[in-house]
Amino acid sequence: MTRKQERARARRRWEKQQAKQSQRQQDRARLQRLSAVVAVVVVVLGVVGVLAVTVGRGGGDEAAPGADNTPATVVAGCQPPPSPLGTASELTLPDKATAQGKVFDATIATNCGDIVVRLDGAKAPQAVASFLQLARESYWKDSPCHRLTTAETLKVLQCGDPTGTGQGGPGYGFGVENAPKDGSYPRGTLAMARTQDPKKGNGGQFFIVYGDSSLPDPDGYTVFGTVTSGLDIVDRVAAEGVAPNASSPDDGSPAAPISILSVAVTEEKS
């Protein structure tokens, strides 16, 4: 098999994995909507039942909480996450010149503490310009990090979707920049998540690599920064693993919820 055929085969395999992930996220979203409807029905029936007990016995019995009421794991140093705003945005792709050749420091405030990253506008000006705009617009306010992978060769925490479903975007897309030729993404890498389209599949979602990882896609993923502090926060979340209701034991929403509260960016002066 030629090198070209190997790359094509690797790309098809990764696209299938991405398609499966997208389908799982859509299935979870439908299940959440169905669960909400069922919950309303249960509440109504519960009220009727309590009223019946009160009238028949002259008093009410408190029902024990069910499994659905079990709180999510909150690791040490974290606060319960806020409810996602779930808002969609229709923004315009910013000019990459706003970040060209510049370096920025961004503080990502989460319910578990601050994660600080350095953004490289020299190597990935379009991705950094987009990050700056989304931070300025408070696009990520109260947005959950919706995906955690714990496989041996892929250890990432994916964030950046205000809806928390993995399907949200800022209303624009752009192409891949500064992708590693060997498909290697070392611990501490900050990179853009994208759709299967390498020419305009980048948007507002990004991932933090907490363990040396390999992504075999020949088009790669845009590396636009590195984590300079706070990676231990991701380690603690990752240690709790994937939520038990995920369709895959090593790929799904994190069992210990972590959400972005706000993002502040400052330019490094030479």
Q: What CATH number is associated with residue 245?
A: 2.40.100.10
On whether residue 11 sits in a domain, the answer given is: no
Of 160, 162, 96, nearest in space to 128 by CA: 96
Residue 89: per-residue pLDDT: 77
Instruction: Specify the number of domains making up the chain.
Output: 1
For residue 13, being part of any structural domain is answered with no
Q: Residue 85 falls within a domain, yes or no? A: no
Q: Is residue 204 part of a domain?
A: yes
Residue 25 lies in a domain: no
Distance set, CA 15 to CA 8, 34, 38, 155, 257 (Å): 11, 29, 34, 18, 27
Side chain identity at residue 30, one-letter code: R
| Listed residue (70, 32, 33, 64) closest to 46, CA to CA | 64
What per-residue string of b and e applies to 19-46 under the rule 16 or more CB within 10 Å gives b?
eebeebbeebeeeeeeeeeeeeeeeeee
Task: Identify whether 46 is part of a domain.
Answer: no
Q: Has residue 255 been placed in a domain? A: yes
Under-70 pLDDT residues of the chain: 1-72, 88
Q: In the prediction, which pLDDT does 86 show?
A: 81
Closest CA to 235 of 115, 80, 109: 115
pLDDT of amino acid 18: 57
- pLDDT value of position 49: 35
- Residue 83 inside a domain? The answer is no
| pTM tops 0.85 | no
Please report the pLDDT score of residue 92 as a whole number.
96
pLDDT of residue 13: 54
The 10s digit of each residue's pLDDT in 75-124 is 989 999 999 988 767 899 999 999 999 999 999 999 999 999 999 999 99
CB under 8 Å to 164, separation ≥6 — which residues? 84, 86, 143, 144, 146
Q: How buried is 1 (Cβ within 10 angstroms: 0-12 exposed, 13-18 middle, 19+ buried)?
A: exposed
Residue type for position 159: C
Q: Which domain covers residue 263, as residue numbers?
A: 96-267
